[in-house]
Amino acid sequence: MINRVPILVISTLLLIACRAQQTPLLLPNKVDVNPTSTVPIFTLGAVSYPFQLERSPFSTPNGQFEQQEQLLASCQPKPENAAKPPTSAYNRYPLAELIFQGVIRNSTSRVALFSLPSGEVVAVKAGQRIGAEYAQLTSIEAEQIALKLSCDSPVVTWSLTNQQ
């Protein structure tokens, strides 16, 4: 009880001294005599840009890419494949970027080797899908493989003699 009184007196004196050092926060009221002379900080309005007169960024130029659009429309991946992101390294690249390196054969199965643009070499078994187009590897022979795209297309073969 005795120790509380000096602490209370000292803290009160400190608060009074701090309050005396502060500058007043209230500014004197200034009345604007002519309110029409004020300049607006910002104005709202529609702004037009010259690119608005150009073509839509979502449309293709007339006459170009028609064949490619038809191919893409006819060879869309199956819905279950389209909903899932590519889960393996050889599904992230288009077929044109994969290079057929060769075949590994053991007593029971054959595996095709592909090199990716990243430099990685992957092994693919028959029945697996490769490339961003989800082409199915239908058969693996000694020096060639057969691929079938997910759409109704003929079987495409790759051989080691065609590769650089």
**CA 75 to chain CA centroid, nearest Å:** 23
Going by pLDDT thresholds of 50, 70 and 90, the confidence category of residue 30 is: low
Residue 58: predicted pLDDT:
62
Question: Is pTM, for the whole model, over 0.85?
Answer: no
What is the Cα gyration radius of the chain?
Answer: 37
Residue 35: predicted pLDDT:
60
Domain ranges of the chain: 76-159
What mean pLDDT comes out for the span 29-34? 63
Region 76-159: CATH code: 2.30.30.830
What mean pLDDT comes out for the span 9-37? 68
Please tell me the distance from the alpha carbon of residue 128 to that of residue 159, in angstroms, as a whole number.
Answer: 18
Kindly report, residue by residue over 36-81, the tens digit of the pLDDT.
666 666 666 776 666 656 666 665 555 444 544 444 444 555 555 5
Q: Which residues contact 115 (CB under 8 A, 6 or more apart)?
A: 98, 99, 101, 121, 122
Please tell me the distance from the alpha carbon of residue 117 to that of residue 27, in angstroms, as a whole number.
Answer: 69
Q: In what order do the strands lie in the sheet with 129-130?
A: 129-130, 135-140, 144-148, 156-159
Going by pLDDT thresholds of 50, 70 and 90, the confidence category of residue 164 is: very low
Residue 9: predicted pLDDT:
87
Q: Nearest Cα to 131, choosing from 77, 60, 73?
A: 77
Please tell me the distance from the alpha carbon of residue 111 to that of residue 124, in angstroms, as a whole number.
Answer: 6
Residue 146: predicted pLDDT:
86
